[in-house]
Amino acid sequence: MPTNLPAEAQAAWQKYLSAKSLEDKIKALEEYISLIPKHKGTEKLLMQVKKTLTKLKLELSKKREIRKKTAIHPAFSIPKNEDAQLTLLGLPGTGKTALFNYLTNNNVPFGKTTLLPNVGIFRFQGAVFQVIDLPPVFSENIDETPNGRSILSLVRNSDLILLIIDLSQDIDWQFNTLINLLKKSRIIIDRSPPPIKFIRLSRGGIQIHGANYTPFSLDELKDLIKSLGILNCILEINGNVDEEDILNALDKRTVFKKSIIIATKADIQDAHEKLRSLAKLAKNLRIISSSALAKIGKMELGQAVLSELNLIRVWTRKNGKIAERALVLPKGATVRDAAEKIHTDFVRKFKYAIVERPGSKIKRLRVGLNFELEEGDILMIHVSD
């Protein structure tokens, strides 16, 4: 910077040099330009500074565009609620919103593309599930769907993904599009987490245990790991795995999710034939036939949700009355888990519990905190005063 500039201009230049953000740099540079005397001796300086200003403005514009594309719309900030969160994921015109209305007793208009998520409650025999009707996806490339990354963020966070397949449309195309979309986003629904333990290290090289469980030699495995830019790690394999299992374990973005296929419009004429075709594609994924028009599938879906998520329902009895809403707990839950869900005081002041088990030979059991509960149990907790 020329030393014969006014003190104010020199101060603005120093402000530019010390600025941290692009916005502050641009503001300081604009001030600097306004304070430079305009004559022949400063023409070259002004030209250079204006070029720098243009570059900074272009960089800021690009950053703002990226922020706009990746920013989550407030409508997609949906916290988990109720006993489990279910997301409806499908392509356009597959009957997704009609199914949402059927499950949640809502009346959301359908027939036009859903632009923002709808949230409702699916009540099933004492259990309450939060259901999110997501906007449709258009292809296996998520960036071709408006708010696509926000949609997948909700899917990734949910407890159970309901894949919507319209039996009146091309089944292969719908199924493969949704599966490929999820896989590209590192959301795996068609296989279980592999028996692999993977730990990144800062040094120590690549240590592999259990290479004999893979289709690769030890050197091939090391080359595979290095090709992903990983130079220090421990890879422990405890059962038979294939290449996809290994890649899933090595990618920290990978999540494994439970999923059910909902085959909509199951009241069409050739539904049974279409369902057989879908079953061949789906392999180990559960399929529920549904029709919002014919009111088919709600009961089957409720049972399937509990089964897929390994949940049980336990009812509480108070003053002789059984609660309408059940305590929904993971299989293997104990009286302690149930007590904590009701209130922490129930554990602190616990004396004993009475469990009524209708299907058991002994209908009424006096138990402690570590007693394991089962589906359909009726629980009464007695506490000290």
Domain range annotation of the chain: 7-70, 74-189+257-307, 196-251, 311-383
Q: How many CB atoms lie within 10 A of CB 327?
A: 22
The fold of 311-383 is Ubiquitin-like (UB roll) (3.10.20)
Note whether 349 and 312 are within 8 A (CB): no
Would the pLDDT of 336 be above 90?
yes
- pLDDT for 305-328, tens place per residue? 999 999 999 999 988 899 999 999
Quote the pLDDT of residue 240: 96
Compute the distance between CA of residue 131 and CA of residue 103 in angstroms, rounded to an integer: 8
Segment 351-379, tens digit of pLDDT = 999 999 988 888 899 999 999 999 999 99
Q: Quick check: 267 pLDDT over 70?
A: yes
- Asked whether residue 104 carries a pLDDT value surpassing 90, the answer given is yes
Which amino acid, 208?
I
Mean pLDDT of 265-275: 94
| pLDDT of the residue at 56 | 85
Q: What is the mean pLDDT of residues 112-136?
A: 93
From the list 104, 125, 158, 133, the residue with the least C-alpha distance to 328 is 125
pLDDT at 277: 95
The CATH architecture annotation of domain 74-189+257-307 reads 3-Layer(aba) Sandwich (3.40)
Q: What is the pLDDT of residue 1?
A: 52
Query: Averaged over 222-232, what is the pLDDT?
Result: 90
Task: Answer yes or no: is pLDDT of 295 > 90.
Answer: yes
pLDDT confidence band for 19 (50 / 70 / 90): confident
Higher pLDDT, 71 or 272: 272
For residue 310, what pLDDT is reported?
97
Q: So what's the pLDDT on residue 101?
A: 96
Q: Classify strands 286-289 and 258-264 as parallel, antiparallel or unpaired.
A: parallel
Pick 46 or 92 by higher pLDDT. Answer: 92
